[in-house]
C-alpha cells in the first residue's frame, strides 16, 4: 500500500512540474492554441506561435525571428531553433553588432527527432519527419522524411495513408 502511495505522489509531482512548465511556456509566447504540453525544459521567445496539440520534450528557440509551430507538432529532446545570425555584411569583420533575423515555419503534423537544429529562413512542410541529430538549413517538402547535416529528404510518407488518417482525425 505504501508503494502505491509513493508512486501516486511521484506521478502527481511529475504532472505538477509538467503543468508549471506548460504554463510558463504559454505565458511567454505570442499566441497558442489548445492542448499544448511542455514535458521538459523549454525556452521560447515572444515571437513564437503554437497551433493546437503541440508537444515539446525539450526545445530552445533563440533569436528574434518569428517561429510558427503548426497543429499536432511533436519534438524530441534537446531541439534548437536559431532565428538570427550575426550580420557579416555589416561595418566590421568578421561581423558587426547587428543581426539578420529569419523566420521559421513548421507546418501541421511535423515531428522533430532528438537534438534537431533548425536554422532561420526555412519551412518544414506538413507531415514531415526530421531524423534525430539533423540540421535543417533549407525547406523540407510536405510528407518528407529527412535527415543528415544538412537535412535532405531520403524517403516520403505514404500519401494515401497519411491523408486517410488525417481525414479520420487520428492525431496523437
| CA–CA gap between residue 47 and residue 103 (Å, rounded) | 9
CA nearest to 127, candidates 147, 106, 142: 142
**Residues with a known catalytic role:** 86
DSSP letters along 26-84, please?
HHHSSB--SS-EE-S-EE--TTEEE-SS-EESSEEEESSS-EEE-TT-EE-TTEEEE-E
Amino acid at each position: 500500500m505504501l508503494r502505491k502511495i509513493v508512486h501516486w505522489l511521484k506521478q502527481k509531482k511529475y504532472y505538477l512540474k509538467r503543468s508549471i512548465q506548460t504554463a510558463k511556456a504559454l505565458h511567454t509566447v505570442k499566441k497558442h492554441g489548445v492542448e499544448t504540453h511542455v514535458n521538459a525544459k523549454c525556452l521560447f521567445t515572444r515571437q513564437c506561435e503554437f497551433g493546437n496539440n503541440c508537444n515539446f520534450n525539450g526545445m530552445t528557440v533563440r533569436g528574434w525571428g518569428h517561429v510558427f509551430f503548426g497543429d499536432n507538432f511533436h519534438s524530441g529532446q534537446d531541439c534548437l531553433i536559431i532565428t538570427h545570425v550575426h550580420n557579416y555584411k555589416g561595418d566590421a569583420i568578421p561581423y558587426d553588432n547587428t543581426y539578420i533575423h529569419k523566420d521559421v515555419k513548421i507546418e501541421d503534423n511535423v515531428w522533430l527527432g532528438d537534438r534537431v537544429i533548425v536554422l532561420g529562413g526555412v519551412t518544414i512542410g506538413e507531415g514531415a519527419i526530421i531524423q534525430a541529430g539533423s540540421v535543417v538549413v533549407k525547406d523540407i517538402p510536405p510528407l518528407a522524411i529527412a535527415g543528415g547535416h544538412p537535412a535532405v529528404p531520403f524517403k516520403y510518407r505514404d500519401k494515401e495513408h497519411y491523408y486517410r488518417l488525417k481525414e479520420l482525425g487520428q492525431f496523437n
